[in-house]
């Protein structure tokens, strides 16, 4: 299974999450500034939320994707106020005709003292287990 990982991370949380995914999925964790260079079966795509939005760089990355070169996207991310950034990612991807997996991974991401310390070690281990499940499918 050919896998790629991309993230946008303002405070380093999605980067940490992408690196945990990389440990299990055997692909490199790269920022969305790095376009996909070859077709993939699974693309893990993640971000946090800043002032109610996913960063525009994620939209730019999605805008450059070739829908025929990505079989399926698995979304991940963290947030402090909204439940998850995944619905925003899903909407952007689906509007380009890109298939998005039902399964996704979200956890709390700190905003100052709110959810301080998250994503924490347990969040990252839960994420690794989630990815083990995806890779076993």
Ligand X SMILES: Cc1cc2nc3c(=O)[nH]c(=O)nc-3n(C[C@H](O)[C@H](O)[C@H](O)COP(=O)(O)O)c2cc1C
Shortest Å distance, C-beta 19 to ligand X: 12
Inter-residue contact 53 to 8 (CB < 8 Å): no
Among 1, 2, 11, 28, binds ligand X (CB under 6 A): 11
Among 1, 2, 12, 133, binds ligand X (CB under 6 A): 12
Please give the torsion angle defined by the CA atoms of residues 122, 112, 18 and 83, in that order, rounded to the nearest 10 degrees: 80
Among 3, 4, 14, 86, binds ligand X (CB under 6 A): 14
Sheet holding 40-47, edge to edge: 29-31, 3-8, 40-47, 70-79, 105-108
Q: Decide whether 69 or 83 has the Cβ nearer to ligand X.
A: 83
Binding footprint of ligand X on the chain (CB under 6 A): 9-14, 48-52, 78-82, 109-111
């Amino acid at each position: 299974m050919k896998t790629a990982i991309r993230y946008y991370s303002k405070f380093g949380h999605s980067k940490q999450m992408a690196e945990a995914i990389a440990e299990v999925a055997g692909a490199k964790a790269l920022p969305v500034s790095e376009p996909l260079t070859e077709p993939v079966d699974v693309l893990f795509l993640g971000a946090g939320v800043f002032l109610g939005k996913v960063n525009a760089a994620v939209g730019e990355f999605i805008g450059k994707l070739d829908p025929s070169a990505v079989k399926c996207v698995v979304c991940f991310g963290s947030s402090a106020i909204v439940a998850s950034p995944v619905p925003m990612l899903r909407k952007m991807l689906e509007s380009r005709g890109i298939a998005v997996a039902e399964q996704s991974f979200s956890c709390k991401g700190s905003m100052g003292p709110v959810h301080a310390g998250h994503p924490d070690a347990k969040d990252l281990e839960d994420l690794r287990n989630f990815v083990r499940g995806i890779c076993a499918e």
